[in-house]
């Protein structure tokens, strides 16, 4: 992966720090620590956690090592921080992510969806946060998929985050998706603040990413980090 895909510019980090996590970029400052953040809600792991993990687990899910193709779908860059409720950065947190491809299908034996698989989509990654608790990855927007004759799950990305004291399994939802308000897992988060906590925030486009790519910020808040 090119260097410009690996690293966020300072301007991007400042914008993201002033996103949903509010003043997160100030991390260890006394002022930032006066703000109690809402713990990211638990949202079920679901049945499609990859038991057979791919060999390619890097932060670019849009391609698979050894293959020339590129994953189908709209490119999305997701970046954020892992924090505790006092705003302290959680460095070296392990983050596992997995998701459906752009057709709404997981690369999992138990997925009953008949949509096509995408051989160029990695579908899974393992990340580590840096000293400021930051993470970033590049992927495609997952497709919605049916769970019954009358219901669909909205686009979402699964996260399993292990900090120094806490572990959290949750799902990141995409903003402005009509299916969110019909999703049983999203609706189970009855308080609006909890719903806001699982919604990524769309950020202004930057020159560092591909034209027409989406840039999202999502901070994960653990109780004690």
- Is 108 considered catalytic here? no
- Of 77, 136, 156, 167, catalytic: 156
Separation of first and last alpha carbons in the chain: 29
d(C-alpha 80, C-alpha 24), whole Å: 9
d(C-alpha 60, C-alpha 85), whole Å: 29
Give Cα separations from 55 to 58, 69, 104 (angstroms).
9, 17, 22
Angle at 109 between CA 61 and CA 121, to 5 degrees: 15
Say if residues 209 and 136 touch (Cβ distance below 8 Å). no
Say if residues 127 and 97 touch (Cβ distance below 8 Å). yes
- Of 77, 105, 134, 158, catalytic: 158
- Is 135 considered catalytic here? no
- Is 77 considered catalytic here? no
d(C-alpha 24, C-alpha 87), whole Å: 6
DSSP β-ladder status, 201-202 and 167-173: unpaired
- Of 37, 105, 106, 124, catalytic: 106
**Active site amino acids:** 106, 145, 153, 156, 158
């Amino acid at each position: 992966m090119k260097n410009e895909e690996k690293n966020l510019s300072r301007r991007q980090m400042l914008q993201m720090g002033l996103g949903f996590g509010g003043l997160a970029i100030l991390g260890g400052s006394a002022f930032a620590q006066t703000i109690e953040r809402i713990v990211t809600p638990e949202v079920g792991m679901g049945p499609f956690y990859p038991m057979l993990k791919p060999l390619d687990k890097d932060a670019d899910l849009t391609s698979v090592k050894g293959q020339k193709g590129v994953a189908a779908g709209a490119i999305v860059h997701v970046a954020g921080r892992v924090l505790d409720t006092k705003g302290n950065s959680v460095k070296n947190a392990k983050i596992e992510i997995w998701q459906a491809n752009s057709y709404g299908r997981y690369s999992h034996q138990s997925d009953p969806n008949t949509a096509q698989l995408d051989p160029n989509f990695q579908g899974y990654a393992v990340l580590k946060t840096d000293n400021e608790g930051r993470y970033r990855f590049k992927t495609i927007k997952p497709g919605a998929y049916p769970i019954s004759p009358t219901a669909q799950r909205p686009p979402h990305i699964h996260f399993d985050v292990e900090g120094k004291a806490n572990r959290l399994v949750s799902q990141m939802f995409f903003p402005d998706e009509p299916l969110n308000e019909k999703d049983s897992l999203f609706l189970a988060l009855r308080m609006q603040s909890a719903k806001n906590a699982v919604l990524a925030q769309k950020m202004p486009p930057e020159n560092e990413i591909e034209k027409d790519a989406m840039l999202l910020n999502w901070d994960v808040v653990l109780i004690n980090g």
